[in-house]
Amino acid sequence: MIRFEDVSVVYDGASSPVLSHVDLHVPEGELVLVVGRTGTGKSTLLKCVNGLVPHFTGGTLSGRVTVAGRDTRLHPPRELADVVGIVPQDPLSGFVTDMVEDELAYGMESIGLAPDVMRRRVEETLDLLGLADLRHRPLLSLSGGQRQRVAIGAVLTTHPQVLVLDEPTSALDPGAAEEVLAALQRLVHDLGVTVLLAEHRLERVVQYADRVVVVHGGGVALEVGLPHDIMVTAPVAPPVVELGRLAGWDPLPLTVRDARRAAGPLRERLAPLADDAVRRSRATLHVLDGEVALTVDDLVVRHGAVPALRGVTLAADRGEIVAVMGRNGAGKSTLLSTLVGLHVPASGAVSVGGEMPSRLRGRELIRRVGLVPQEPTDLLVADSVGAECTASDRDCAAVAGTTRAVLDRLAPGVDDSTHPRDLSEGQRLALALSVVLAAEPPVLLLDEPTRGLDYAAKRRLVATLRDLAADGHCVVLATHDVELAAEVATRVVVLADGEIVADGPATDVVVGSPMFAPQVSKVLSPQPWLTVSEVTAALVVAS
């Protein structure tokens, strides 16, 4: 169905090709997972399938890519639209209408389907992806995760033979991600749809894959194989695989179910260590007692007539890392936006460093609180990375080179001359985070900060956040990444329909939760382990 024959792609001004001599065959009815570190060329590989490379992205493509027998160099994307559906990393970049129902119908209108067929498929897709309640909503009023589901639905309604998805679950809550992946699996198994999917959150998707393609970048050949075989040596692996490597399990588990079946001896070994490990973990929290960084008192925020937050009350101290979790549309982004002054409360009060954020402006605001939004490009206005870093240093009166130094820590090797929109999703996020961190705000707000980040980049982010907490910063994360929350959060707040339904130490809130428990917790339950690093540290101490 998809065939790459000696394909290389080099962009103008680049010193080396992003893809080099790629040979790959994906047959009909197979789900292929594409993995690799940020910036290695995964998105470029996907864009070759529907002709976006080179017709719209520029650069030079050599070799041959065919889809259902059509050569993508001879057939631009509009001539492949009846065969290939593509969902980009940024859903907004692909929307062409204003309303959910219209967006689901647009692709079918473009290929000339009959109105009765369009109506039936819209209804089927609304039910399949849990979008029925959103059908009349404006796209701009949706949360990031809701937009992502709409983007997937808009492609599914055309019934493509090939479906290409770039980070399809990055903004979805765990439940919605499972629904989307289950739907994709049904398309593959029941209808013979061919799916090519790039995803960093392997803990969600690797068990669904028929094969895995590892993109190494730098001119290194692709590595292709069965999931179990690839995970043995892959540079990126989900926590359940890392735990299997630590315990020496053979074969390595790809699912929590398989890991639990092998984990009996490990649980017995860890049982006497659990209580001491939890005490040590809590003793390392950096909270500075008595130094309040932000307060929210009986907060109500409305989007038009729709209440987004209902009577939210919480406080966070300096040195605290708070993970705000909940399903898509629960109010997480609204809470963060209100803390930085982008929303004026209908009632209640918000205070950051003793000031109401909506009354602060310019440098006075960024010196108190910084927000990295779900769409990091909202913060990026210059035409090169270097210019962005220079402008950031100037805006926050930082020493020249401050922003660049932060970026080098989060995403090493990003060229100063690169346009921010030419960066990978993870690199753009790192640049936006660097711009915010350069001002050293006492309160840092991050909305889905691991979207587009590979495991290595996530580890660098975790180290940065821990250092910030140790220096007395208060960090609030709105995230669906349960593994990030387990790794870094000192406290977890769960929102549902705009209300707080849980608030406490990370271990207390997520252990035993079917929705928000990380993989290690599910494998070793009822013991209170959250991460592979916790297990490793405990075993080292005990040895």
Q: pLDDT tens digits for 385-413?
A: 999 999 999 988 889 999 999 999 888 88
Q: Would you say 277 and 306 are in contact if contact means Cβ atoms under 8 Å apart? A: no
CA atoms within 13 A on the CB side of 504: 7
% pLDDT > 70, the chain: 97
Task: Decide: helix, strand or coil at residue 431.
Answer: helix
pLDDT digit string, tens, across residues 214-264: 998 877 888 999 998 998 888 778 999 999 999 999 889 999 999 999 999
Selected residue with higher pLDDT from 65 and 377: 65
Task: Give the domain 2-236 fold.
Answer: Rossmann fold (3.40.50)
pLDDT of 56 reads 86
pLDDT of 283 reads 58
pLDDT band at 176 (very low <50, low <70, confident <90, very high): confident
Strands 491-496 and 499-505: antiparallel
pLDDT at 511 over 90: no
Integer angstrom CA distances of residue 31 from 15, 202, 215, 330 = 33, 14, 16, 31
pLDDT of 519 reads 93
Distance CA 94, CA 306 (A): 26
pLDDT of 169 reads 84
pLDDT of 476 reads 96
Residues listed for the chain? 543
Q: Would you say 388 and 382 are in contact if contact means Cβ atoms under 8 Å apart? A: yes
Distance CA 158, CA 80 (A): 12
pLDDT digit string, tens, across residues 299-335: 999 988 888 999 999 999 999 999 999 988 899 999 9
pLDDT of 126 reads 92
pLDDT of 269 reads 92
Distance CA 396, CA 404 (A): 14
pLDDT at 472 over 80: yes
% pLDDT > 90, the chain: 47
**Mean predicted confidence (pLDDT) in 174-196:** 87
pLDDT mean across residues, the chain: 88
Beta strand segments in 474-529, E: 474-478, 491-496, 499-505
**289-534 CATH:** 3.40.50.300
Distance CA 235, CA 37 (A): 8
pLDDT of 290 reads 65
Largest CA distance in the chain: 69
pLDDT digit string, tens, across residues 75-90: 988 888 889 998 887 7
Task: Decide: helix, strand or coil at residue 23.
Answer: strand
pLDDT digit string, tens, across residues 265-286: 999 999 988 877 666 666 556 6
Distance CA 459, CA 235 (A): 13
The pair phi, psi for residue 346, each rounded to 5°, is -70, -35
Distance CA 243, CA 519 (A): 9
Distance CA 534, CA 266 (A): 13
Residue 159's Cα: distance from chain center in Å?
A: 26
Distance CA 321, CA 222 (A): 38
Q: Which ranges in 111-209 belong to alpha helices (H)?
A: 115-128, 144-156, 174-191, 202-205
Q: Which ranges in 221-306 belong to alpha helices (H)?
A: 227-233, 239-247, 256-262, 264-270, 274-283
**Mean predicted confidence (pLDDT) in 172-179:** 83
Task: Decide: helix, strand or coil at residue 420.
Answer: helix
Q: What are the counts of helices (DSSP H) followed by strands (DSSP E) for the chain?
A: 22, 19
CATH 3.40.50.300, the chain: domain bounds: 2-236, 289-534
Tokens of 448: 């889905």
Tokens of 356: 């109401």
Tokens of 136: 């009349």
